[in-house]
Structure 1
């Protein structure tokens, strides 16, 4: 998605703020560690084995919607720009998701608000954010950033690093590397919308 209305300046600010968080000392990052009771917070999968290549990455997960479960207390306070940048970025990406949802609905031959309604209607839907950070690995041939997976939700707006060709998608049994487009979002249709499409909603 290009010409999406989220300003390049905001994208740079959000990226820079989160890089600043992941570059904090481990004891600072660990203050926000997630727990078995919640996915929200900081986590690390450095060296996690899954029978093949090792996972190699840190992440941060937080809720944006609904407001009843959104807690700024779980958002990092360092660097000082992070909370404001994340708040603005989250609001803009949620608006973009709503617009894309209407386009998808119409593309499926449905009323423009059909998918939005299925996810709770405007203001009633859930939205979360996951930030992935991949530190340099001394043996990159042994690792993957994130293993092959599908996204369980309705839709993912993926903002990739403009300079790294790491993302791959599987089409017709072949893995295809996605060339990054500066300041563009990659729209992943998640399992819930894909399942709805197959059922004919």
Structure 2
């Protein structure tokens, strides 16, 4: 996976632009969450592809370099097996039966974002990815084994997530925060850059169908867990709201909350 993605990111910029995402799409090469020409962009290259269900793939965005399609499918199928093992356990934790989360998704959607962070001589001025939380149920991340690029926000500071070779990092996303009525908070995180080292990472997003209506589960609202904290909203509407904003921590999740 790493070697194949490296071949794509090494292509000349004009070649990569052949796969540029359209202004009304999130698939393809380029940066999303761009809302102004005056906005400072992140220091990184990325390409996002929808993987499952396969009918949502837009193959015009898939680079035609050797073995790219086969590698993406092999890696994504393996990560999907991890997700299929995780979701039943999270279901039980939430008080559902083991197939509960699968049913709430209606159809589990899976996409992958491949990130490349070049060397940067002014690391104090830019970030690889600005602070944000993911609009997902869970995100499964493959980090670079050599450098600490991922940081999570905890209390008043940023905590580095030291890579452990041959492991995956699993982040809680905004969808799980809503379903759990805030019991499980989506992780605010960012990616940093390095002056003498380039990095790559691979984020797999597990999300529900766009027509799914998000709202707290009944068992997550009682005298123990507290009153209802989030309103009902279609997942697709939430995503469109988030994409219309620049990355700014968890400010996009305020849209989900009931004012008190």
Q: Fold conserved (TM > 0.5)?
A: yes
Kept in 2, the 8 Å contact 1:49–1:55? The answer is no
Q: Residue in 2 aligned with 1:159?
A: 142
1:73 equivalent to 2:60? Answer yes
TM-score of the pair, normalised by structure 2: 0.65
Q: SS of the counterpart of 1:151?
A: coil
Q: SS of the counterpart of 2:119?
A: coil
How many positions carry a matched residue from both structures?
A: 180
Higher helix share: 1
Q: Residue in 2 aligned with 1:129?
A: 112
**Residue by residue, what CA displacement relative to the aligned partner does 1:139-198 show, whole Å, maximum 9, x if unpaired?**
222110001100012111011111110111112233211000112111111100111011
Structure 2: gaps spanning 5 or more residues = 182-215, 219-260
Hey, which bits of structure 1, 4+ residues long, moved more than 6 A? Answer: none
TM-score of the pair, normalised by structure 1: 0.83
Partner Cα separation in structure 1 for residue 25 and residue 31 of structure 2: 15
Q: Residue in 1 aligned with 2:21?
A: 34
Q: Residue in 2 aligned with 1:112?
A: 98
Pick from 3, 6, 9: which aligns with 1:22? 9
Kept in 1, the 8 Å contact 2:19–2:29? The answer is yes
TM-superposed CA distance for 1:44, in Å, is 4.7
Q: SS of the counterpart of 1:31?
A: helix
Q: Residue in 1 aligned with 2:77?
A: 91
Kept in 1, the 8 Å contact 2:20–2:61? The answer is no
Structure 1: gaps spanning 5 or more residues = 1-13
